[in-house]
A = this chain, B = another copy of it.
Amino acid sequence: MLVPGPVRIIGTGLIGGSLGLALSAAGVDVVVQDVSPGTQALAVEMGVGRAPRPGDPDPALVLVAAPPDVAAQLAVEALARWPRAIVADVASVKTTVLAGIVAARRAGDLDEDALARYVGTHPMAGREVAGVIASRGDLFQGRPFVVVPHGSTRPEARSILRALAVELGSVPVEMDAATHDAAVALVSHVPQIMSSLLAATLVDGPEQALGLAGQGLRDTTRIAASDPRLWVEILGANAAAIGPVLRDVRERLEAVLQALSSLEGDPDPGVGSRRALAGLIADGNRGVQRIPGKHGGAGDAFTTIVVLVPDRPGHLARLLTEIGQIGVNLEDLHLEHTLGKKVGLAHVSIERAHESLLTQALRERGWTVAES
């Protein structure tokens, strides 16, 4: 057991619930509380943790997993109530929560020791569905868990939160609040805004046009299905970090609009306009190449081979059995099902080093493998 108990979880939504499931499964004594008695009871029933009892020992660790707008206040209350507990929140924007806690210290509501017991965190996981009912003990596996200490956070608090990350199967990463907020503005909040802006163009589009939608549109708009209430809080709290990135986007968009309008009706207005469009697409190429592969490496240790599979029960199973027999481990698998045809395409991700071995062995066994 790396994480000391008891752990008190305040707020049992998706994140609090999933934290509790993982910690309870690891044998930690988890006590849950939620502002809604019904939610708290459901969390207890699901095995997230137990309800508080009179005479409970003080928690060693408090995890505030409430909505971001009340996170600072609940953390301040917890720091004051349990004078030896390490207190962490999980809100996805860190500077505003820290500012709230520092303000309480300045107002004399907390002493210096209490401030030193606070550390921010951001377990970077989520699902399209919300609430304790969607909780999963494996929600954080393989995801970054950002530990966000401030200038006077105790070393012990940082260690305990890193231990929590490891216990969850997450990858612990440490950065200060401003660095964290700028990072999530770039990789999460601006993407959310761009996806929503794009999806919003579809509201009044003709049905016939929507019928031509392909995978590209589906991928670029998937996160636009996110919860408005939650996102208003997140975007509002991180406005200062989102603004500069989004203003760069606006500037670029202006240049694209100008290039398009000079090309409109005049297919050859000089090279400048074409260069602006080519520059946009080329910079997009460079940007997307900078995203690390999901294994955290440069993204080129793995490759995908495409195998034709008859779309009947049993054939995909046979393919996977034979891949196992050949001795190659599957990293990822995606089945592409084609409408109205009794055939599917299995996209099989493997280590690049095994590509030619597997391709050849599958062909010898009669499978159709696409040319790479």
Query: Chain B contacts of A328 at CB under 8 A?
Result: 313
**How many monomers of this chain does the complex have?**
2
- A284 near B182 with CB under 8 A, answer no
Give the distance in Å from the alpha carbon of A33 to the alpha carbon of B200 in the complex: 43
- B239 near A288 with CB under 8 A, answer no
- A211 near B260 with CB under 8 A, answer no
User: A173-B212, A335-B330 known; A197 and B290 CB under 8 Å?
Assistant: no
- B220 near A243 with CB under 8 A, answer no
User: A201-B248, A338-B141 known; A186 and B209 CB under 8 Å?
Assistant: yes
Query: Chain B contacts of A318 at CB under 8 A?
Result: 317
Report the minimal beta-carbon distance from A146 to chain B, rounded to whole angstroms: 7
User: A138-B343, A216-B223, A220-B195 known; A335 and B338 CB under 8 Å?
Assistant: no
Give the distance in Å from the alpha carbon of A203 to the alpha carbon of B284 in the complex: 8
- B236 near A246 with CB under 8 A, answer no
Query: Chain B contacts of A257 at CB under 8 A?
Result: 243, 246-247, 250
The answer to the question of A295 belonging to the interface, with a C-beta cut-off of 8 Å to chain B, is yes
Find residues 174-214 in chain A having any chain B CB closer than 8 Å to their own CB: 175, 179, 182-184, 186-188, 190-203, 205-214
- B224 near A267 with CB under 8 A, answer no
Query: Chain B contacts of A227 at CB under 8 A?
Result: 281
Closest to A198 in B: B194
Q: Choose from B215, B218, B333 the contact partner of A334 (Cβ within 8 Å).
A: B333
The answer to the question of A252 belonging to the interface, with a C-beta cut-off of 8 Å to chain B, is yes
Closest to A134 in B: B371
Give the distance in Å from the alpha carbon of A287 to the alpha carbon of B203 in the complex: 4
Give the distance in Å from the alpha carbon of A261 to the alpha carbon of B188 in the complex: 19
Q: Chain A: residues with CB nearer than 8 A to chain B?
A: 96, 124-125, 133-134, 136, 138, 141-144, 146, 169, 171, 173, 175, 179, 182-184, 186-188, 190-203, 205-229, 231-232, 235-237, 239-240, 242-243, 245-250, 252-254, 256-257, 260-261, 263-265, 267, 273-274, 277-278, 280-292, 294-296, 308, 311-314, 316-321, 323-325, 327-341, 343, 345, 349, 370-371
* Known A199-B287, A210-B292, A232-B281; 7 more pairs at CB < 8 Å: A171-B340, A186-B210, A210-B290, A218-B294, A228-B282, A246-B253, A317-B321
